[in-house]
Amino acid sequence: MKKSGKALAFVLAIAFILTFTLSACGSKKATVKENNTEQSKSGAGDTSDTNDSGKDVLVVYFSATGTTKGVAKKIANITDADLYEIVAAQKYTSDDLNYNDPDSRTSVEQNDPTVRPKIGSDEISLDGYSTIFIGYPIWQGQEPRIMDTFVENHKFAGITVIPFCTSGSSSIGSSGKNLADHAGSGNWLDGKRFSGSVSKDKLRNWIDGFHIKEKSKEDKKSMPKVRIGNKAVNVEWEDNESVQALRDLCTDKPLKIKMSMYGGFEQVGSIGQSLPRNDKQTTTRAGDIVLYSGNQIVVFYGSNSWAYTRLGHITDQDAEGMAKLLGNGDVTITISME
Ligand SMILES: Cc1cc2nc3c(=O)[nH]c(=O)nc-3n(C[C@H](O)[C@H](O)[C@H](O)COP(=O)(O)O)c2cc1C
């Protein structure tokens, strides 16, 4: 009797350990089905090059009462996209959503631009997506603060991001621009406001204007590689016609540019011909690559304010690294497609 009691306890202990271990493994990568699309939600720290579904387009949305969710699902269906819902760690109750109460949770959050409500949904990796639609309701004329939490915690480099929103009547206003500023990376396009009852045809017309399929092929074209002296550096290129022209210029053979130190903050060199330019007053930082005067490339290891056309930014060097590469004498920069 005593013996069989011990055996039972042993079996229960093993069962407990197995259950715990298996559920811990399972929580790292969850796959959910929504809108007939299999969506992979990668665990934090996932560094895979692409999402598991292999899809190009992702629709990310936050929806407190289901309206934006409905529009997000239609967009995902039209674009054959993955769908990801931002869920607040602390769900919004109807009291929280009372915008007539100046002390309600949403009123307090929207009145304080520094608030960042926590996200409760599984972490998602944006790797492998070339286009992301990002949707939310308008709260007090702006994006809900939880959207700021999301964009500040993800990298959008190389991704075209298209905001959309639903509202009682307000337009999208500056909310898309705010999100772009908070994100700090990505090619953010102007967004649009829809009513919850928007038809699929109307959405399709809007989406057709982005030429997503063609764009996605374009995005997959490789981008120029850069070497400073013998050191290869990573560059996040701008999406503009100057970069396209530069890319065309170095397609057949590498472009070697003899640079000269100037001003204690940059090296400058002639491309040998003019590229399309769209100069804007710019304050640069270490790592920035710009077009100056249409025919010269400038790479910064410090800062300067001037009218330039942005070409890109070196992402794998900090200010100290850039100073080491550029602050010790003239260099040659090689831009090539190899
Ligand atoms: C806290 C709060 C603030 C809102 N502020 C606005 C607003 O400024 N302008 C507007 O047109 N609608 C406003 N609305 C209405 C929502 O934008 C609208 O109902 C939206 O479609 C809800 O989307 P959801 O169901 O996806 O959460 C607000 C709603 C809430 C809950």
Q: Report, as an integer, the average pLDDT of 250-266.
A: 94
Cα–ligand 1 centroid distance for 37 (angstroms):
27
Residue 80 DSSP code: T
List, in sequence order, every residue forming a beta bridge with 269; answer none if it has no partner: 297
Instruction: Out of 65, 67, 138, give the residue to mutate to test ligand 1, the one with the largest number of ligand atoms within 8 Å of its CB.
Output: 138
Q: What does the pLDDT look like over 100-118, one tens digit per residue?
A: 999 999 999 999 999 999 9
Q: Which domains does the chain have, with CATH numbers?
A: 28-218 (3.40.50.360), 222-336 (2.40.100.20)
pLDDT for 216: 57
Tokens 């970069």 -> residue: 243
pLDDT for 217: 54
Strand ranges (E), the chain: 30-34, 37-41, 57-61, 82-85, 131-137, 160-166, 187-188, 192-194, 225-228, 231-233, 235-237, 255-258, 260-262, 266-270, 280-283, 288-292, 296-300, 305-314, 332-336
How many CB atoms are closer than 10 A to CB 153? 13
Amino acid letter, residue 243:
V
List, in sequence order, every residue forming a beta bridge with 225; answer none if it has no partner: 336
Q: Are strands 266-270 and 296-300 parallel, antiparallel or unpaired?
A: antiparallel
Amino acid letter, residue 173:
G
pLDDT for 335: 96
Phi, psi of 2, rounded to the nearest 5 degrees: -60, -40
C-alpha triplet 53, 238, 116: angle, nearest 5°: 65
How large a percentage of the chain has pLDDT more than 70? Answer: 82
For 30, the 3-state DSSP assignment is strand
Please give the number of the atom of ligand 1 that sits closest to the Cα of 61: 26
User: With 80 as the cut, is the pLDDT of residue 150 above it?
Assistant: yes
Instruction: Out of 67, 83, 107, 139, give the residue to mutate to test ligand 1, the one with the largest number of ligand atoms within 8 Å of its CB.
Output: 139
pLDDT level of residue 50 (50, 70, 90 thresholds): low
User: With 90 as the cut, is the pLDDT of residue 119 above it?
Assistant: yes
Check: CB of residue 120 under 8 Å from CB of residue 46.
no
Q: Higher model confidence: residue 88 or residue 52?
A: 88
Contacts of 73 (CB under 8 A, 6+ apart): 34, 35, 59, 83
Check: CB of residue 226 under 8 Å from CB of residue 317.
no
Check: CB of residue 121 under 8 Å from CB of residue 85.
yes
d(CA 112, CA 200): 36
Cα–ligand 1 centroid distance for 12 (angstroms):
51
Lowest mean pLDDT among 88-102, 201-215, 274-288, 302-316: 201-215
Q: Is the CB of 97 under 6 A from ligand 1?
A: yes
Q: 254-259 contacts: CB < 8 A, separation 24 or more?
A: 254/334, 254/335, 254/336, 254/338, 255/334, 255/335, 255/336, 256/332, 256/333, 256/334, 257/297, 257/332, 257/333, 257/334, 257/335, 258/330, 258/332, 259/297, 259/299, 259/326, 259/330, 259/331, 259/332, 259/333
For 73, the 3-state DSSP assignment is helix
Q: In the numeric block, which tokens belong to residue 112?
A: 């304080």
Q: What does the pLDDT look like over 165-209, one tens digit per residue?
A: 999 999 999 999 999 999 999 999 999 999 999 999 999 999 999
Cα–ligand 1 centroid distance for 43 (angstroms):
31
List, in sequence order, every residue forming a beta bridge with 292; answer none if it has no partner: 296
pLDDT level of residue 129 (50, 70, 90 thresholds): very high
Lowest mean pLDDT among 8-12, 114-118, 141-145, 152-156: 8-12
For 86, the 3-state DSSP assignment is coil
pLDDT for 66: 98
